[in-house]
Amino acid sequence: MGANYKAFKFFAECRQSLILYVRHEAWLNSAPKKKDEKEPGTKRIFSPDVPDFYKVMPEIVGSDFCINVLQSIGTAAMGYASIQSLPWSEISAYQSATGVRLTAWEAETVRILSEQYVAQALKSSDPSCEPPYKPELTPEMKLQHAKALRKKMRGQ
């Protein structure tokens, strides 16, 4: 295999891990509406109903630089009725204001991450939305979850 293929494969894996990271972050930051309620509930990250192991973030392949840039700019922009992905002008303005020069791949990745965050955030307003990332559960995590469920069922 050539060096170009290996580099392409690495950057593809890197981007996929970043996408999973921001999608899970959007799921955790969502506050789903409960049935028959007009106002959103508690953000999943703060909800005692969400097991702690779902609050663990996935690993990132490569660097978290693009995540840091996205969070510096803001994960989404406000649209007319809802959030929307960052426009290219915001990414360009960030570079002008900070002096940080993004490569084409980095700028495109930041834009894709914003699109993915918005898509997941909108989807995650549904209380039955499954988390995008489910970590491998250790026996200790399974035991912790079982104890929490028993406690909840007993009303404690």
Q: Which is nearest to 30 in space by CA: 133, 134, 123?
A: 123
41: tokens are: 């509930």
Rounded Cα distance, 22 and 17, in Å: 9
Q: What is the mean pLDDT of residues 38-42?
A: 78
Residue 156, pLDDT > 60, answer no
Indicate the DSSP class of residue 86: P
Q: Is the dihedral of CA 127, 132, 136, 138 positive or negative?
A: negative
Tell me the per-residue pLDDT of 119-154, one tens digit each, with 9 for 90 and over: 999 999 998 899 999 988 888 878 877 877 777 677
Tell me the per-residue pLDDT of 64-108, one tens digit each, with 9 for 90 and over: 999 999 999 999 999 888 899 999 999 999 999 999 999 999 999
Q: How far is CA 68 from CA 12, 29, 75, 155, in A?
A: 19, 17, 10, 41
pLDDT attached to residue 1:
61
Tell me the per-residue pLDDT of 14-34, one tens digit each, with 9 for 90 and over: 999 999 999 999 999 999 887
